[in-house]
Amino acid sequence: MKSKVIIIILLVITTVTGGCGRNQGQIGDVHDHTHDETLQLFAYSEDFEIFAESSPFVVGQDGEILVHVTCIENFKPFTEGLVSVSLVIGDEIEVMGKLLEEQERPGIWLFSLKPQKEGVGKLLFELRRSQDVSQVVIPNITIFTSEHLAHEAAAQAAITSADGITFTKEQSWKVEFATDLARLEPFGQIIRTTAQIQPSQGSERIISAKAGGVVLFTNDHVVEGRAVGAGQVLFSIDGSVTADNNLAVRYAEVESEYNRSKVEYERKAELAKENIVSQSALLSAKNDFTQAEANFNNLKSNFSAGRQSVMSPIGGFVTRVLVQNGEYVEAGQPVLVVSQSRDLYIKAEVQPKYHDMLNNITSATIRVMNSNRTYTLEELGGRVLSFGKSTDLHNPLIPVVFQVNNRAGWLSGTFVELFIKTQTIAQVVTIPNGALTEEMGNYFVFVQLTPELFEKRWIMKGVTDGLRTEILEGVAVGERVVSKGAMLVKLSQASGALDPHAGHVH
């Protein structure tokens, strides 16, 4: 069992249909007026968002609480678990909420609470999922002795927005939607550039011909993209089809030299026992035999029927085929390129004006062209490998090279957009890039007033690192903005105001 720490707590009281308009001099009118103010309460933990609509709390009166529970990981309704609510004053539970009915809709619970004494307390929500228990607390819950005082306080504390945009929980649960906090964090200068993915030196091998002859591929499937294993025979060199450097003739010569040197060494070894042959002559014969044996074994291990077989030294994929089947090659000429694609280089070239900043690189974010997916250097297990210390007349740009693990399945040669981050002590306000919307060159975000009410706000933006954007004006630290689905909220604004309780279970 575990209890999650509450990281953000917000309390907002709103009025659904208006405040209590009354004449101060007419006491009787107060009792004749119908109070319909509603508290809108919400709070966040690491895992959950709680959004509750409740009537004001009055001693001795039953009050209903409609609770919407959202999972922060995907902003979808919490359906696989149990929810309970308690009203706590001081260190004691004042009253446990009574569950009026099971969920009629996913993620929505209806409770009834009847406080027994006045005071200021808190609502404690417990969410059980398997063996885990999480708690979310909404503080500063006031219990009044008078219904009139409770509703009057709710009306006076109501937060309204003339330009507020309603987007209900039921709507947000059906689409890709999320909110995130504007936070204060270090945000150094960003170098934005284009880079190319290249194979690392250790993950790519060029396989060359070991002898002159005609290349014969083992099958018709040695093509680019073909998976190969370490030690797998990829092609053979037929050296018997040419008069010069004929492999069969060379093999016969090497075998003959091996047999001759072996007999000669064995003969001198016997004579040396009787001191007929000097030790220097014996040592010379042994060296000749050792060299001939090495040459013979090397050729024999790869030689068969006038051909020399060439194997892949590593497992991976064929990335390039450099010759045609049946083409003549010289010894040492490249034939195939095999790559493991496990480690890659990301090489960028930046302007010389950034040279003084390159010593302060802390990280980077990488986005593939024509893709919405952005990776951090940390996600890919990457590091700064090197950067240039000079330029030349032919290329006045400075190379910067990162090494990453190819967890994203990238292909060598692909171009990416690179945001190089540098170290700084400056703290700035940032929000996710997905929160920004643009209208005729101006940028806006949708700031959350309640989980169902949003305000469109103009902002002045600074630089971006590919994931978050610096905000110079318009959003304060701790405010929550729509980070995913901002365009849907914008469309909701264009379609007109909606009933904030549309679709709710009461």
Average pLDDT, the chain: 82
The full set of domains in the chain, from first to last, is 6-160 (2.60.40.1930), 179-188+427-494 (2.40.420.20), 240-305 (1.10.287)
Across residues 472-495, what is the average pLDDT? 91
User: What distance in Å separates the CA atoms of residue 312 and residue 308, rounded to the nearest whole number?
Assistant: 14
- pLDDT, tens digit, 9 for 90 and up, residues 383-432: 999 998 887 778 889 999 999 988 887 888 889 999 999 988 889 999 99
CA distance 399 to 384: 12
- The single residue listed with the structure tokens 């480690």 is 343
Q: Give the DSSP letter string of 469-481.
A: EEEEES--TT-EE
pLDDT in tens, 96-117: 888 887 666 889 999 999 998 8
Give the pLDDT of residue 22: 36
Confidence of residue 502 (pLDDT cuts 50, 70, 90): very low
Give the residue, 430 or 302, on which the prediction is more confident: 430
Distance CA 95, CA 105 (A): 25
The residue type of 363 is S
Would the pLDDT of 12 be above 50? no
CA–chain centroid gap for 478, Å, is 23
Please choose, from the candidates 110, 175, 119, 135, the residue with its C-alpha nearest in 3D space to the C-alpha of residue 43. 135
Pairing type for strands 213-217 and 233-238 reads antiparallel
125, 50 in Cβ contact below 8 A? yes
Of residues 267 and 173, more confidence is placed in: 173
Q: Per residue in 36-94, pLDDT tens?
A: 678 889 999 999 999 999 889 999 988 889 999 999 999 999 988 899 999 998 878 88
pTM for the model = 0.70
What pLDDT, on the 0 to 100 scale, is given for residue 80?
86
The mean per-residue pLDDT over the stretch 346-364 comes to 90
Higher pLDDT, 259 or 457: 457
**pLDDT band with cut points at 50, 70 and 90 for residue 248:** low
* pLDDT of res. 176: 94
Strand partners, 125: 85, 136
Of all residues in the chain, the percent with pLDDT exceeding 90 is 35
Across 355-379, average pLDDT? 88
Q: Read out DSSP for 295-315?
A: HHHHHHHHEETTEEEEE-SS-
Written as one string, the DSSP assignment of 479-506 is -EEEEE-HHHHHHHHHT----TTTT---
